[in-house]
Amino acid sequence: MYHVYSHNDLDGVSCGIIARIAFGANVTNRYNSVQGLDLQVERYLEKAVEDDHLFITDLSVNKENEERIESFIKKGGNVTLIDHHKTALHLNDYTWGNVTVAYPDGHLACATSLLYDYLVEHYDLEKTNALNEFVDLVRQWDTWEWDQNKTMNAKRLNDLFYMLSIDEFEERMVRRLTSEDSFSFDEFEEKLLDMEETKIERYIKRKRRELVQTFIGDYCVGIVHAESYHSELGNVLGKDCPHLDYITILNLGGKKMSFRTIHDEVDVSAVAAKFNGGGHVKAAGATLTEEAYKLFIATPFSIEPLRVDALRNQFNIKESKLGSLYRSEDKTFYIYPASDKEWVLEENKVKKQTYPSFAEAENNIKRYEKAWLVRDDQFIHFIRQTMIEGKKS
């Protein structure tokens, strides 16, 4: 008998789906949170049946369970751990550990793609077009490659996963992947997904207006409370506010934190590790500890949300040759080009500094002044006043 202990997200559950296709009725799947895995592994090892095989996928075990598994293996037990998080790379020191972050061609791996390859190689699982397509959609979603490639079906697959129960999603996918020549959504699912897309957009707009900004250590951090759509929310907020080093998404009910970044130079798995969490370079998570509560909730509690840049402007737009007008609570900022490679920043109509690019000037006033792009009417008024003052002088 085979047993799969996996994560309870799309990548983790897809490991269970692949295992069911490979082993049929001879496999049981158990999906766990990051925090719940170690207790389940400990219980399994205490009651393991001879000749059974445990697969741990998309999650890693703590030090105590590393030692328990190693002892179990030496006594003839069967355990295979397959993961893709860099925080689990040390498990490759064990014969039962199989951790790969990226393939030789540079593409990032996910647990589903690694398990698929493993079962093809060691258990003669037959590759099919449908399985190949499904596994790659999961991989693109989990590694966020879909956003770069604009593979919207990867995002829609994750949306569908969260719209259905895990059991229903698993059953639908197993039936489809064993009966269809290629992977696609059915008509009913397409309609559901279209409605869900609208719902997600509304949710993200609302949460953007709740985003607060503060410095934690050396990082300029955006903080928002949300129970749903963490990946989509982190991605949109990161792109909308690129001056923020990373986004922290807090779920108080679940006592969990998610970290997201769009910046190559920021490693949020290292941030998560400070709170006994882990994950990927650009997407990670942790339990909400007392220390984290003070840093991300108690201290920033009185901070007002960030103002949103004006959206429908025709004149006061970013990188305009006429300049761009921003405001903070008590200051006015005007960024205008002196040349193709020099942008001037004025603070309250006094030249403050020059920058080699508009983005760097804007980044500065958003990070340190929490400034926002004002509406056209305020911009036009500013330009008129500047012209009048210029004539008087």
Give the CATH number, domain containing residue 119.
3.90.1640
Q: Kindly give the parts of the chain with pLDDT less than 70.
A: 390-393
Q: Do 297 and 227 share a structural domain?
A: yes
Q: Do 382 and 259 belong to one domain?
A: no
Question: Does a structural domain hold residue 313?
Answer: no
User: Which sign, positive or negative, has the C-alpha torsion 195, 199, 204, 206?
Assistant: positive
Residue 201 forms part of a structural domain = no
**pLDDT for 112:** 98
Is residue 280 situated within a structural domain?
Answer: yes
> pTM for the complete prediction?
0.79
The pLDDT score that the predictor gives to residue 49 is 86
Mark whether 44 and 129 lie in a shared domain. yes
- Same domain, residue pair 38 and 176: yes
| Single residue among 185, 218, 242 that ends a domain in this structure | 185
88 inside domain: yes
248 and 125, same structural domain? no
Q: Say yes or no: 286 and 335 in one domain.
A: no
Residue range(s) defining the domain that contains residue 352: 324-392
Are 91 and 223 members of one domain?
A: no
User: Does the residue 307 lie in any domain?
Assistant: no
**pLDDT value of position 392:** 55
Exposed/middle/buried for residue 149 (C-beta within 10 Å: 0-12, 13-18, 19+): exposed
- What pLDDT, on a 0 to 100 scale, did the predictor assign at position 33? 86
Q: Do 172 and 58 share a domain, yes or no? A: yes
Counted domains in the chain: 3
240 and 340 in a single domain? The answer is no
Question: Residue 227 and residue 216: Cα distance in Å, rounded?
Answer: 22
Does residue 315 sit within a domain?
no
Q: Are 59 and 165 found together in one domain?
A: yes
Q: Is residue 355 part of a domain?
A: yes
Do 138 and 232 lie in one domain? The reply is no
Residue-level pLDDT at 334: 97
* Predicted local distance difference test score (pLDDT) of residue 390: 65
Question: Are 179 and 211 in a shared domain?
Answer: no
CATH code for position 292: 3.10.310.30
Q: Which of 125, 151, 185 is the last residue of a domain?
A: 185
* 190 domain-assigned: no
